[in-house]
Amino acid sequence: MRAKDVMTNHVVSVTPETTVAEIASKLLEHRISAVPVVDKNGKLMGIVSEGDLFRRPEMGTADRSRSCWLELFQDHDHLAQDYIKTHGRKAADIMTDKVVTVAEETSVNEIAELLETHHIKRVPVVKDGRPVGIVSRANLVQCLATARPTLYDVEPSDENVRAKVVAELGKEDWANLVTTNVLVKDGVVEFWGLVSSEAVKKASCIAAENVRGVKKVIDRRSRMPLIAH
C-alpha cells in the first residue's frame, strides 16, 4: 500500500500569519495534532504540532529550568531561537521548517521507517510542493486493522511452504540455518536442531507463521550449550 491509499485527504492548514491562539483552536476544532503552514500559493513552508504549543507564557510553561552553568555554555543564538519558539505569536515564529515529507506513491513501509527514524507522529504528503494529505501513526494502525488476508484458490504444497520458510529465515542475520532443519507436513512446520536463544526461537516461529500455507509451527530445537571461556 502507498501513502495515497491510507492518507487523510482533507488537509487543515494555516498561513505564516496565523496566530498561536488560532492554531490551538484549529487543532481542537478538527481533533488533529498538527497543521501544515503554507504560503499564499499553497506551498508547504513548515508544520506546527501540538508539541510546539506546550511551552507558552500564556500557560505559565514557557520558562525552562536551567542551571546558571548550563546557560554559560549555551550559544546565545540557541537561547534566542528557544525564546522565539516559546514566545512567538504567529505560525512563522514557532513552526518547524525542516519538514519530513513523502509523495503519494511512497510505500507504507517507507513511511513507517521515517516515523520511527525521525521520532515523529505524522508526515505531510506533498505533490508539486503542496500538501495533499497527511499520514499519521493512527492511519497506519487503521491500515493494519482493516487488512484482510489474501484469498487463494489453491493452498501451496508442503515443499513450497518449506522453501518459503527457509527463504524468509535466510534474510535474517539472527537466523542460523546451519544449526536448524525445517520440516513441513500438511502445513505444519517443525524446527529441529539447535538455537542460540529464546528470542531467536520466537522470532523463527513468527517468521514461519507469516508464510502463506503454514497452519501451525512446532519448535523442537534445543538451546546451544554455553561455551566456557
> Do 23 and 112 lie in a common domain?
yes
> Do 118 and 202 lie in a common domain?
no
- 88 pLDDT tier (thresholds 50, 70, 90): confident
> Which runs of consecutive H residues, i.e. helices, occur in 42-127?
68-73, 76-87, 91-94, 108-118
> Do 123 and 97 lie in a common domain?
yes
| Residues whose CB falls within 8 Å of the CB of residue 104, separated by 6 or more in sequence, listed in order | 2, 3, 4, 7, 125, 127, 132, 133
**pTM score, whole prediction:** 0.63
Question: Domain boundary residue among 94, 120, 146?
Answer: 146
pLDDT digits (tens, 9 = 90+) for 28-57: 998 888 999 999 999 999 999 888 888 776
Mean pLDDT of 54-61: 71
Asked whether the predicted pLDDT for residue 133 surpasses 60, the reply is yes
Q: How many CA atoms lie within 13 A of 64 on its CB side?
A: 13
Asked whether the predicted pLDDT for residue 68 surpasses 70, the reply is no
pLDDT score of 205: 95
> Do 118 and 171 lie in a common domain?
no
> Do 139 and 210 lie in a common domain?
no
pLDDT score of 89: 86
- Confirm whether 189 is domain-assigned: yes
Domain range for 177 is 158-223
Count the neighbouring beta carbons within 10 Å of the beta carbon of residue 62. Answer: 15
Cβ 39 vs Cβ 15: under 8 Å: yes
> Do 137 and 203 lie in a common domain?
no
153 versus 167: the higher-pLDDT residue is: 167
Question: Domain boundary residue among 146, 170, 190?
Answer: 146
pLDDT more than 90, % of the chain? 59
> Do 60 and 138 lie in a common domain?
yes
- 161 pLDDT tier (thresholds 50, 70, 90): very high
> Do 31 and 121 lie in a common domain?
yes
Cβ 100 vs Cβ 114: under 8 Å: yes
Question: Domain boundary residue among 125, 146, 167?
Answer: 146
Distance of CA 161 to the CA centre of its chain: 30
Say which CATH number the domain at 216 has. Answer: 3.30.1340.30
pLDDT score of 80: 75
Number of folded domains in the chain?
2
The neighbouring-strand residues paired with 19 are 90
pLDDT score of 152: 55
> Do 141 and 163 lie in a common domain?
no
Asked whether the predicted pLDDT for residue 130 surpasses 60, the reply is yes
| The three grid cell numbers given for residue 40, joined into one nine-digit string | 499564499
Mean pLDDT of 96-118: 93
Q: How many CA atoms lie within 13 A of 57 on its CB side?
A: 8
Q: Residue 209: enclosing H or E segment and its boundaries?
A: helix 198-209
> Do 9 and 96 lie in a common domain?
yes
> Do 163 and 107 lie in a common domain?
no
Mean pLDDT of 209-225: 92
- 72 pLDDT tier (thresholds 50, 70, 90): low
- Confirm whether 141 is domain-assigned: yes
- Confirm whether 82 is domain-assigned: yes
Say which CATH number the domain at 112 has. Answer: 3.10.580.10
| Mean pLDDT value across the chain | 86
- Confirm whether 78 is domain-assigned: yes
pLDDT score of 203: 96
Asked whether the predicted pLDDT for residue 150 surpasses 60, the reply is no
DSSP type of residue 96: B
> Do 40 and 133 lie in a common domain?
yes
CA-closest candidate to residue 58, choices 78, 33, 25, 88: 88
pLDDT digits (tens, 9 = 90+) for 183-208: 999 999 999 999 999 999 999 999 99
